[in-house]
Chains A and B, each alone.
Chain A
Amino acid sequence: MKDQLARWPVRLVIGLVAPLLLIFLWQWQASAHSVTFAPPVAVASALAELLRNGDLLRDTLATLQRAFTGLAIGAPLGVAAGIAMGIWKPVDRLLGPLLHALRQVPMIGWLPLIGLWFGVGEGTELIVVSMSAFFPSMLNSHAGVAQVERRYLEVGGIYRFTTLQRIRFILLPAAMPLVLTGITQALAFAWISTIGTELLTGAGSGLGVAMQTAQVQQRLDIMLVVIGVTAALGFLINQLFRRLRQSLLRWQPAQS
């Protein structure tokens, strides 16, 4: 029975129950309040329209590019900072308090200030997205290195590991599960803050920009298409990363 539930076609069907129910309720309600609610049929035709004129593709690509560029800048910096803080106490003492204070400010909260410095545009958005990828990567990597078991470090002592060997063969691999957790979170944060900054700055193209434009034009159908695409893409990216994580951590005993 348990095995049956685990098989992917079964999982797919079960996973689709809630969305389909939602669409049904939505169609039913939308017919009753047609002014504030677009029915699924209208949304489907909006989707077809956006696909035809290329708007959806352009916006999606712009958002993906922004999110992944931010991730590519913020996550490695965060991992490096977290590991350095975990290995060298002075670095932790020097940077820890500042970084822990700064991370209390919601990322969107930085937008006005950074916008003032760098102007509303691509640069500002990228800085905010990078920052939101930085903090979860840093925190988890730090925790990952800090919790490496002493008994493994002793083995490194027995075999006369140098500092670099200790980092490469013990600290990094032992911290890897949490480092990857950090990057997974960074991915989610980068995705959310990309949409958020696009919504607020409304410059260029992107899914957030499209949402904002649709709001101004009162195109409920388009808004719902964009929300759907955002949710689906976010889910898909997260799944892909989970796969990657599993193959990188195949040395871990299977978790059930």
Chain B
Amino acid sequence: MNPHPHAREDLAQAAASRGALTVSGLDKSFDIGGKPRKILDGINLNVRPGEFVSIVGASGCGKSTLLRLIAGLDTDYSGELRLDGDRIATTSLDRGIVFQDHRLFPWMTLEQNVELALLNTDTPKSRRAQIVADHIALVNLKGFEKAYPHQLSGGMAQRAAIARALVTEPKLLLLDEPLGALDALTRVHVQNELQRIWMAQRSTMVMVTHDVEEALYLGDRVIVMSPNPGRIRRIVEVDLPHPRDRRAPLLHRLKDEILAELTSGADAAESADNLVHLPSREAR
């Protein structure tokens, strides 16, 4: 619990050398039907250490692609991607990711799944069990250590995936629509958990979502993206201390603004273009 902005700044300073993400002039194209198609166009973004950044945008705006590039799962890009000054060229234990599907290994218990993330870290073997237990407690799953993923509910499995991603203490945690597959109630619950965990850990987090409310509730800043090709349209500062109140008027005002931006965004000509061309492109 840390409602004081000053204390928060101190913490942020302590972590200053950890988790600063720099994206500059990032372009990404996919080959579709033999023709290159631009997915990301000139993305520039600086994420401060310890910051929570949300990215929203219509489907197809390349926000998940951006996250996969930062994770190092796809290394075919032009431009600059750096974490604490080091160019991102492959995956790294410094960068954790939570996917929309939890991706826990079904053949392992919750405990084993979390511990497996420590396999290639230099964490001493003797301390691993304790660290795993701490992280399972962090996501409120105590008592489910021996459960197999199919025995967990969707929300529990997703929290387990968050524990697995955090156990390596990554400088940067990437969240790719982590709550997208959950029902509305579970979603609100896990959002609260996520806020609590972020406040406890203070690692840098970048979350992609299509839920504007969720983006605003969690993000220090919200990046609004537009599609075809994916560009940053606007960056919204959410100047509210954590933990936040969902009913805060600022959040609602910003939500209306961003929704207006996202829906009016594609002007008549552009959307007509989409309607005419999307199906034929798929047919090819």
Taking residues whose C-beta sits less than 8 angstroms from the other chain, chain A's interface range is 20 to 34
B103 touches A152 (CB 8 A): yes
Q: List 24 A-B contacts (CB under 8 A).
A: A151-B101, A154-B103, A155-B103, A155-B105, A157-B91, A158-B73, A158-B91, A158-B96, A159-B93, A159-B116, A161-B119, A162-B120, A165-B119, A169-B119, A170-B105, A173-B105, A173-B107, A174-B107, A176-B107, A250-B148, A251-B106, A251-B148, A251-B150, A252-B150
Least CB distance from B113 to A in Å reads: 9
**A243: Cβ under 8 A from any B Cβ:** no
How far apart sit A205 and B140, CA to CA, in the bound complex (Å)? Answer: 64
How far apart sit A152 and B149, CA to CA, in the bound complex (Å)? Answer: 14
**B274: Cβ under 8 A from any A Cβ:** no
**B97: Cβ under 8 A from any A Cβ:** yes
A152 touches B105 (CB 8 A): yes
Tell me the B216-269 residues at the A interface (CB within 8 Å): none
Kindly list chain B residues whose C-beta atoms are within 8 Å of the C-beta of A251. 106-108, 148, 150
Kindly list chain A residues whose C-beta atoms are within 8 Å of the C-beta of B123. none
How far apart sit A154 and B101, CA to CA, in the bound complex (Å)? Answer: 12
Kindly list chain A residues whose C-beta atoms are within 8 Å of the C-beta of B150. 251-253
**B99: Cβ under 8 A from any A Cβ:** yes
Least CB distance from A164 to B in Å reads: 11
How far apart sit A159 and B107, CA to CA, in the bound complex (Å)? Answer: 17
Residue on B nearest A248 in the bound complex, by CB: B107
**A160: Cβ under 8 A from any B Cβ:** yes
**B71: Cβ under 8 A from any A Cβ:** yes
Contact with B along A114-152 (1 / 0, CB 8 A): 000000000000000000000000000000000000011
Least CB distance from B93 to A in Å reads: 6
Kindly list chain B residues whose C-beta atoms are within 8 Å of the C-beta of A162. 120
A159 touches B105 (CB 8 A): no
Kindly list chain A residues whose C-beta atoms are within 8 Å of the C-beta of B97. 158
**B88: Cβ under 8 A from any A Cβ:** no
Kindly list chain A residues whose C-beta atoms are within 8 Å of the C-beta of B101. 151
Residue on A nearest B168 in the bound complex, by CB: A159
Least CB distance from A249 to B in Å reads: 8
How far apart sit A176 and B105, CA to CA, in the bound complex (Å)? Answer: 13
Residue on B nearest A250 in the bound complex, by CB: B148
Kindly list chain B residues whose C-beta atoms are within 8 Å of the C-beta of A154. 73, 103
